[in-house]
Amino acid sequence: MIVALGTVWIRNLFAATMLMGIFSLLAAALYVLLDAVDVALTEAAVGAGVSIILMLSALVLTTSREKVHNTRHSLLALLVVLITGGALIYGTMDMPNFADPQAPAHQHVSPRYTQDSPKEIGIPNMVTSVLASYRGLDTLGEVLVIFVAGVGVLLVLGTGQYRRRERAPGDKRR
């Protein structure tokens, strides 16, 4: 929480990037505490690793200091943020308690997943069998989203080899 606030407040983008990395690492530790090791692996590798490197390489292209523009705060914006935040917090009050066995999420299909999937799929890790078999189409969608995102970046930014091709072939060093 403190790290997140620091990320918003700090003007030096390099430090903000580092703080984001720390935030991701803390989130990963939190996921491990909640027994969501799959998510923690992803968060640690994506949030703390790769996305920070991408941010840094984007920083290389720009400046590392945020421009201060128009520090006049709008009262209307504050009001909208407060109302939205309040509504969201009000919404969480209806949520079931943590680890409540009667929660709706534990009633619908998850008994079948947790009780029958080792027999039906023959794979001990239920996360994998839900992800890849019961929800195979959703996972296909995710993969296609990732693929399309990669294609989009390629179209916008180029392949990364494009610039080097312009140099003479004998010119090994930049």
Partner 1 sequence: MSPQTMSPHIVLRVGAKLLIPIILLFALYVQFHGEYSPGGGFQAGIIFAAALVLYALIFGLETIQRAVPPAAVHLLAACGALLYISIGIWAMFAGGNFLEYKVLASNPKLGETIGIILIELGVGITVASVVITLFYSFAGRERQPRDKD
Binding site for partner 1 (CB under 8 A): 37-38, 41-42, 45-46, 49-50, 53-54, 57-58, 60-65, 120-125, 127-129, 131-133, 136-137, 139-140, 142-144, 146-147, 149-150, 153-154, 157-164, 173-174
Smallest distance from partner 1 to CB 3, Å: 21
Smallest distance from partner 1 to CB 107, Å: 25
Question: CA 93, CA 167: separation in Å to the nearest integer?
Answer: 62
Neighbours of 129 (CB within 10 A): 19
Smallest distance from partner 1 to CB 164, Å: 7
Smallest distance from partner 1 to CB 19, Å: 20
Of 107 and 159, nearer to partner 1 (C-beta) is 159
Smallest distance from partner 1 to CB 68, Å: 14
Of 38 and 100, nearer to partner 1 (C-beta) is 38
- How far from 2 is each of 20, 66, 152, CA to CA, in Å? 11, 20, 34
Of 82 and 123, nearer to partner 1 (C-beta) is 123
> If we measure between CA atoms, which residue out of 24, 18, 26, 19 comes closest to residue 45?
24
Of 84 and 115, nearer to partner 1 (C-beta) is 115
Q: Any alpha helices (H) in the chain, and if so which ranges?
A: 2-9, 13-33, 37-42, 51-61, 75-93, 110-121, 126-129, 136-157, 162-165
What is the separation, in whole angstroms, between the first and last Cα of the chain?
43
